[in-house]
Structure 1
Amino acid sequence: MDLMDSQKVEAILGPQTSEETSSVAEIASKKQIPVLSFADATPNWATERWPFLLQASQNQLAQMKAIAAIVQSWEWHQVTVIYEDIDSSATGILPHLSDALREAGAEIIHVLALPHFPSSRLSEELEKLKGGQCRVFVVHLSLELAVHLFEKANKMKMMEKDYIWITTDAFTSLVHSINTSSISSMQGILGVRSHFPEDKPKFQDFCKRFRKRFGAEYPEEDNNHEPGALAVQTYDAVWSVALAMKQKSEKLNQKLLRRILLSDFDGLTGKVEFMNQKVAPAHTYQIINLMGKSYRELGFWTYGLGFSDTIIDPKYNYSSMKDLGQVFWPGAPWYTPKGWTLPAKDQPLRIGVPIGSEFQQYVNVEYDELRNFTYFGGFSIELFKALVEKLPFYLPYNFIPFNGSYDDLVKQLYLNNFAGVVGDVAIVARRCQYADFTHPYTESGLVMIFPVQKSGNKTLLFLKPFTRAVWILVAVISIYNGFVVWLIERNHWPELTGSALHQTGTFFWLSFNLHGEKLHSNLSRMTTLVWLFVALVISQTYTANLTSMLTARGLEPTVNNIETLQSSNAIIGYSRCLGDYASDLKSRKTGAVFLEVAEAKIFLAKYCKGFTVAGPTYKVGGLGFAFPKGSPLLPSVIEALLKVSESGKLRELETSMIASEKCMEVNLHDDDDISSLSPSGFWVLFVLSGGISTIALMLMLALLKHWENHIKQQFNRRVGQEESSGISSDTHEARFVLSLNIETVA
């Protein structure tokens, strides 16, 4: 403040951090002195609080998008950010980089903030990064701190193959000033730096004067004295203030601020102008590749246009950096690093496999106690093995059985208990919050399976209305009723006399052909009346059921869509194996079964003669392999899965799986048996008829017993009378029999 008062300061240039900027801006705003800051970013609230604060450095958004475009070009999906622990980096770099990476399909998985001065904990932090899986590092550090970082990383063998280092403009714009010994530890680094129109005379003149003056003031430095981005931006900022101060006024400070904001001239960085108290952002960045004793210029990236070989009238713009040519990577591998690796301890990946899959054709887990060995088989397992063979790198893994629900299995990925899940895992929305899935490796869709009508043998169709038990009961009750009538009426019908064979035939005829008008006894009439009523009910029921069967055989199945199931309140069941599905449909416990298309193929292959698919295919996710969210392995697995599919191996495995199923002949829901009426519906009628016949039989036997006693009394009385008259016993017996016959006929 004393400096501002004593030296009559009219403008301040130079704060490079948010902390410095806020301190200076607070004081300068009270004095109404413009402050031009070179911090990475100035938040909107800062310019509102301090109206005399201007951001002279270019916005970092475009640079972060350039870095994200590089990451996207090489299909890297996870990034570790190393930045200097100052407030401007946290507020100006990380938010823009995070948003840009998210748009490019990548994410920041780890952030390492380093103190401004090198510390002993750097080795410890790098060791943690080395032990992780991510191998893509974005470095936003000052020159001195970045050099220290790369020298340390080189000693820890983190500048070798499979590592990717990308530096921002803060370091890249000054690589020309790094000595040869230091740059040898930075081989393969990709750098992004601001592009300046170096071919223009104004820029060349500035560089010439800069090198001359810098060499004079710092003769101990190397001969390569090129101006960095900060020097160029500072030069333009000074010109903005100088041009604004040409016109004096009484209210100089307010006028100066206004004229600075109205700056519009061609500076070293290009067009210089301010928007919302911030210098207009750069749109073009140059990409360089450190190699040998210096670096190689790969090309350019322009906001809204993409990559190009040159900035002056480029013939083509590319969406991918791959089109700029071969990159010299750390460790000089001939292949492009995949951006991730297995943990340093080289432990195999733990791949979870579900136990108890309802379709063991997909996943079959068996444990051999004698050999202490767990067998993993099935379509999904074989497909994953084929997929691993297509990966461009070696992938060690172990299958780990998991006994639990599929949802719990997927959640294990979220809990970092597994590195992947292989099995017949359906891709559904509720699981996507815990894991990422590959593309479906089976046909996607949900279909409805229902039993088909079976024509069967119509030769004995007339017997189907009743079950065998009913027919037996009808025969038994008919014979029994006929026997009772025969027994009662045998002395009244001449047809009921004769030989045993003749009487047997007449007996069976009476069982099924009773004539009420010929009956003489009231007991036989009562028996016949009840039996005729029962026979009428049975015959009408038989006719109705037979008609229903004949009609049903000519109808189309009524279950052909989900709306029919809903309207009929049919039960949709869940089972754990194919046999349960078949038996439930057979017994009509369930109206239909919904299965994935892939599972339906297996079901229909096994029960090919009893079921069919009805209705539309309802779109669902299908079956896929699951990995932790943001897993760097997922893109490579998806690509390998496509290769397996395109090679025909996927169809070969599927065909082999389905062909292994032998068609089973299943007597599915025989409608005739189900529709046949059982004795439970007629037991009252049978009991009524049998009971009446039994009562009639008992009454007849009681009457016969009564007659027998009555006749014996008469016989004994006559014998006594005739013995007194002198008649022989033979004569008595003949007369008794004659009188008995006469009474019976009467």
Structure 2
Amino acid sequence: MARKKFASCRLKLVLLTSFIAWSTVLSLDSSPGNHSDELRIGGIVDLTTHIGKEERAAMQVAIEDLFSDVDLNSPTLLIKDSRGDPTRAVSSAKNLIKKNHVAAIVGLRTWPETFFVAEVGNKSKVPIISLSNEVPSWSDSNRPFLVNAARGQFAQMKAVADIISSWKWRKVNVIYEDINSAVSAIIPYLISALQDAGSEISELLPLIPTLSDHSLSKSLRDLKNGQCRVQIVHASAPLAAKIFTKAKRIGMMEKEFVWITTVDTMNLIDTFDASIISSMQGVLGVKSYYSRSTMQFKNFRFRFNRKFRELYHHEPFHEPCVYSLQAYDAMRALSLALTDGVPRSKSFRNSTNNSLMLSISGEKIVSRISESNFEGLAGAFIFQKGILSHERIFRIINVVGKSYREIGYWTEKLGFSESTGAASKYNKSMRLLGSVFWPGGPWSAPRGWALPTSAEPLKIGVPVSNSHKEFVEVIYDQLGRGVVVKGFSINVFDATLKFLPYYLPHIFVPFNGTYDSLVEQVKLQNYDAVVADTAIVAKRFQCGEFSQPYADPGLQMLITARTKNINRAWVFTKPFSTTMWITIGIINVYNGLVVWLIERNFEVENQNNDFREGNLPYQIGYMLYSAFKTLFSLNVDNLRSHWSRLVMVMWLFLALVLTQSFTASLSAIFSDRGNDLAIVDVETLRSTGAKIGCDGGSFVVVYLRDVLKIHPDNIVRIYSEDDYAQALVNEDIAAAYLEVPYLKVFLAKYCKGFTTSGPIYKVGGFGFVSIVSPLNCSGF
């Protein structure tokens, strides 16, 4: 009986509990706050942050401003605190949609929150208006109810890169907050921008917001011990404040250090207290730009400050930041989408207009917001291909004293300027903006690097068995240790290091072997680089990466200076050929005969009897003598006939040309510096089977064999520069092939008795080798 009574009581209790639950649900559905004609807008923000508090105040100001002149009741703004947790954000969104029946949800500062809440919006067909600056461009492809109302700030990374480029810093360290949105969005843009500016990242330091002070100090000390002194900080304001406080404590805010921050920090610098500002002295930063001189902004600032004090009277007073302006503009776009077509009159308010507002579908709201076109507080609110136009202008600020100073502006595709007006002058270099106060107090720009306190030097291989000591020579002491490395290649390397914008610790490691084996050591990572007279050839590219050539490329033949056998007694005949000499003689005889015939028959007083007197042999001899004499003297006046004089003038002109040509040709023969050197070419050497010398451990051996088709038995390997001269003089070899830099050194050392011959075959020249990814290093 007791059990039956207990079961009966238990059943009555369950029924009573169910009745109370249903009564509660019915009372909620019929409560005054849930009337079907009441418009509600949801807001999900992180109220544990200053940004979330500003966004809440800006949203409420926007509703009060935008619905004050519309013929309907002001909507109810229901704010939920996500605390930065995506799970809480999703739960809040479901609650706002299912229980409160909101027309749209605004907020969601981070991409993880936006990502999950957008899925809820898609299923419920409720517009989700995100205020995250890191929403990827592909997000709207499968989320039709998601609208990103915050401006993308990817262009700020170009501004940071231009700052780096202005001071010609080639290496930077990047400290960033390790959250998925930062890694997937901003950091790749920074890496790309730095590459375009000619800089590279030396160290990437990811930090989590909950990182302990000890771990943060250790990470920063590791950066301090390196040589790079340029630090880029991309982190939220709370984490950035911890970073700078700790950096000052360990001595990283001193001379030679450079700190550059992004908008995530600088947009909230007005909220930092004096202790944080004091630890940021000399920091250079990029801050979002918006006009503070318009009447619209001044009115908003007055109402915003009053609302913020009302909501958070214990919070210190601050100027509204760009995030509150974005929240206001987003709420304005939503309000315009909801009130499109509603009478804007205060004369009466009716439920018809409210019902009209509530009947707008989520698709229509999204479409109207995407078609927005107005000048907002944070800039032009215009969508292009579904994406809000990104920020193009940023402020460049410098932390000095108790606050910061605005030193100029950066505009995308234009560069730096001192103002933003139409008459502004732009420059790609930040130096236009004047002096910058750097950490540690100096106004002169830091060089961006320093000697590292702990760094392993690069191991650089140098050849020991080098036949050309003028380029690389290793000198050992009595104990057999390499103590001095010198030569032209070493001098070029040392001179190059002086132009590097950072310190490069290194040691030279002697290597006894062929050049191919030396380069292969780089592939095997036994050496970090090779500094030598290393020829740039295809085979070696498989083992290392070459620098630009620092010596003339080419391969040329070296021979002894020999002359042809020339009979100097008859050298005067060389200017003209035999045929030419015969032709000159015939013309000379013919000319004399013509003159003789004309003058012999010419009878006048005091006529010239030389053409008439004497026998026939005498007349012929006189005729030839007269003709030949005209080459050296003028005897036209002795002629009596005008026809004779005409013939003689023509002959004199021809004689002048002949004598001038003869003189010039003979002078060229005697002034030939080469004394008519014997010609030697590779075809002759190949056909005669002559011996050809080359460096024994060089690629030239393979080049002669495979390219110039010299028989291997005719290739003589030589291992000392001095042996070339002896082998050529003794005719052990007919010629030698040397690379052009070696050839110049040889001819400078042996000034007489040797010369070059034949064409210069183009090869890569000399270069330095550095390590790359391991590849196959076999074959030529």
User: Which letter maps to 1:174?
Assistant: L
Identity among equivalent positions (%) equals 42
Describe how 1:441-590 pairs up with structure 2 within 5 A. 441-442=550-551, 444-455=552-563, 556-559=679-682, 569=710, 575-582=718-725
Residues 1:58 and 1:355: Cα distance change in structure 2 (over 3 Å): farther
Describe how 1:284-303 pairs up with structure 2 within 5 A. 284-303=393-412
- SS of alignment partner, residue 279 of structure 2: helix
Residues 1:346 and 1:607: Cα distance change in structure 2 (over 3 Å): same
Describe how 1:43-54 pairs up with structure 2 within 5 A. 43-54=136-147
Q: Confirm whether residue 143 of structure 1 aligns to residue 225 of structure 2.
A: no
- SS of alignment partner, residue 450 of structure 1: strand
On the 8 A contact 2:680/2:757 being kept in 1, the answer is no
- SS of alignment partner, residue 231 of structure 1: helix
Which of 290, 293, 303 lines up with 1:209 in the alignment?
Answer: 303
On the 8 A contact 1:410/1:421 being kept in 2, the answer is yes
Describe how 1:108-257 pairs up with structure 2 within 5 A. 108-120=201-213, 121-223=215-317, 225-247=318-340, 248=356, 250-257=359-366
Question: What does residue 490 of structure 2 align with?
Answer: 381
Q: Confirm whether residue 269 of structure 1 aligns to residue 378 of structure 2.
A: yes
Q: Confirm whether residue 41 of structure 1 aligns to residue 184 of structure 2.
A: no
Structure 1 window deviating more from structure 2 (119-128 vs 48-57): it is: 119-128
On the 8 A contact 2:555/2:762 being kept in 1, the answer is no
CA distances 1:550-598 after superposition (whole Å, capped 9, x unpaired): xxx9852234999998676466776543245556667576865140x33
User: Which letter maps to 1:65?
Assistant: K
Q: Separation in 1 of the partners of 2:291 and 2:103?
A: 31
On the 8 A contact 1:573/1:590 being kept in 2, the answer is no
Residues 1:567 and 1:375: Cα distance change in structure 2 (over 3 Å): closer
- SS of alignment partner, residue 163 of structure 2: helix
CA distances 1:264-294 after superposition (whole Å, capped 9, x unpaired): 0000121111123321111111111111111
Residues 1:575 and 1:231: Cα distance change in structure 2 (over 3 Å): farther
Q: Separation in 1 of the partners of 2:151 and 2:188?
A: 16
User: Which letter maps to 1:609?
Assistant: K
> How much has 1:110 moved relative to structure 2?
2.7
Point out where structure 1 has 5 or more consecutive residues left out of the alignment: 460-552, 631-746
On the 8 A contact 1:561/1:614 being kept in 2, the answer is no
Q: Separation in 2 of the partners of 1:613 and 1:229?
A: 74
Q: Confirm whether residue 17 of structure 1 aligns to residue 124 of structure 2.
A: no
Which of 402, 413, 416 lines up with 1:307 in the alignment?
Answer: 416
Q: Separation in 2 of the partners of 1:166 and 1:411?
A: 41
On the 8 A contact 2:268/2:321 being kept in 1, the answer is yes
On the 8 A contact 2:287/2:395 being kept in 1, the answer is yes
Residues 1:54 and 1:619: Cα distance change in structure 2 (over 3 Å): farther
RMSD: 3.7
Q: Separation in 2 of the partners of 1:626 and 1:370?
A: 29
Question: What does residue 604 of structure 1 align with?
Answer: 747
Q: Separation in 2 of the partners of 1:51 and 1:446?
A: 64
User: Which letter maps to 2:241?
Assistant: V
Question: What does residue 283 of structure 1 align with?
Answer: 392
> How much has 1:404 moved relative to structure 2?
4.7
Residues 1:175 and 1:252: Cα distance change in structure 2 (over 3 Å): same
Give the TM-score, by structure 1 length: 0.64
CA distances 1:383-415 after superposition (whole Å, capped 9, x unpaired): 555666788998776544344555665676788
Residues 1:71 and 1:392: Cα distance change in structure 2 (over 3 Å): closer
Residues 1:220 and 1:625: Cα distance change in structure 2 (over 3 Å): farther
User: Which letter maps to 2:681?
Assistant: T
Question: What does residue 583 of structure 2 align with?
Answer: none
Describe how 1:653-664 pairs up with structure 2 within 5 A. none
Q: Separation in 2 of the partners of 1:563 and 1:283?
A: 69
User: Which letter maps to 2:139?
Assistant: A
> How much has 1:4 moved relative to structure 2?
0.5
**Greater fraction helix:** 1
On the 8 A contact 1:353/1:400 being kept in 2, the answer is yes
Q: Separation in 2 of the partners of 1:162 and 1:11?
A: 51
Question: What does residue 473 of structure 2 align with?
Answer: 364
Q: Separation in 2 of the partners of 1:311 and 1:441?
A: 46
Q: Separation in 1 of the partners of 2:684 and 2:192?
A: 46
On the 8 A contact 1:561/1:615 being kept in 2, the answer is no
Residues 1:380 and 1:297: Cα distance change in structure 2 (over 3 Å): same
On the 8 A contact 2:131/2:149 being kept in 1, the answer is yes
Q: Separation in 2 of the partners of 1:161 and 1:628?
A: 34
User: Which letter maps to 1:608?
Assistant: C
On the 8 A contact 1:447/1:613 being kept in 2, the answer is no
> How much has 1:191 moved relative to structure 2?
0.5
Give the TM-score, by structure 2 length: 0.62
User: Which letter maps to 1:115?
Assistant: I
CA distances 1:7-43 after superposition (whole Å, capped 9, x unpaired): 1212222122221111100111111112122333223
Question: What does residue 533 of structure 2 align with?
Answer: 424
Q: Confirm whether residue 316 of structure 1 aligns to residue 425 of structure 2.
A: yes
Question: What does residue 65 of structure 1 align with?
Answer: 158
User: Which letter maps to 1:613?
Assistant: T
Q: Confirm whether residue 331 of structure 1 aligns to residue 440 of structure 2.
A: yes
> How much has 1:192 moved relative to structure 2?
0.7
Q: Separation in 2 of the partners of 1:105 and 1:60?
A: 22
CA distances 1:686-713 after superposition (whole Å, capped 9, x unpaired): xxxxxxxxxxxxxxxxxxxxxxxxxxxx
Question: What does residue 17 of structure 2 align with?
Answer: none
